[in-house]
Amino acid sequence: MNSREREEFREVILGEIESQKHQIESLLKSVKPIVPDNAIGRLTRMEAIGSKSVSEASLNSAQRKLARLETSLNKIENPEFGVCIRCSSPIPKGRMILIPESIFCVACAEIKKGSMGRF
């Protein structure tokens, strides 16, 4: 991977980091405790609790992705950046642009998905 490609990936990663930070900020507002209020009916309260649970799961996912993106940004100058950690093949550029935190090539990602993360 040449320096121009690394700079391109750096910009993609920085954009994704910014996007994740905005998403996390938004989700933090929606996971606040639900205050018991006599004005809310039972069904509405259950919907609010369900919505909060979905928001919490989304928040956890966004925080994990942000951590992976920051790790990728820190490793961008390493020679192994953009190389599959399982088979040592280059990760396709299209995959790196779509999923900049990728550490597996497409084939190894499919194997990992099929094995339910056993390697």
CA angle 24, 30, 33 (to 5 degrees): 125
- Identify whether residues 112 and 55 lie together within a single domain: no
Per the CB < 8 A criterion, the answer to whether 105 and 87 are in contact is yes
HSE (side-chain half, CA atoms, 13 Å) at 81: 23
105, 89 contact by CB (below 8 A): yes
SS3 label, residue 37: coil
> What is the per-residue pLDDT across 1-41, written as a single tens digit (0 to 9) for each?
788 988 999 999 999 999 999 999 999 988 877 666 655 66
Judge if 89 and 51 occupy the same domain: no
Count of domains in the chain?
A: 2
Tell me the whole-structure pTM to 2 decimals. Answer: 0.75
Residue 117 pLDDT greater than 70, yes or no = no
Same domain, 8 and 38: yes
Q: Which residues contact 23 (CB under 8 A, 6 or more apart)?
A: 58, 62
Contact 93, 34 (CB under 8 A): no
CA angle 87, 109, 97 (to 5 degrees): 95
Q: What average pLDDT does the chain have?
A: 86
Domain limits for position 109: 82-119
pLDDT tens digits, 46-83:
787 788 889 999 999 999 999 999 999 999 999 889 99
Q: Are residues 63 and 95 in the same domain?
A: no
Q: What pLDDT does 119 receive? A: 44
Give the span between the Cα atoms of 39 and 23, in whole angstroms. Answer: 30
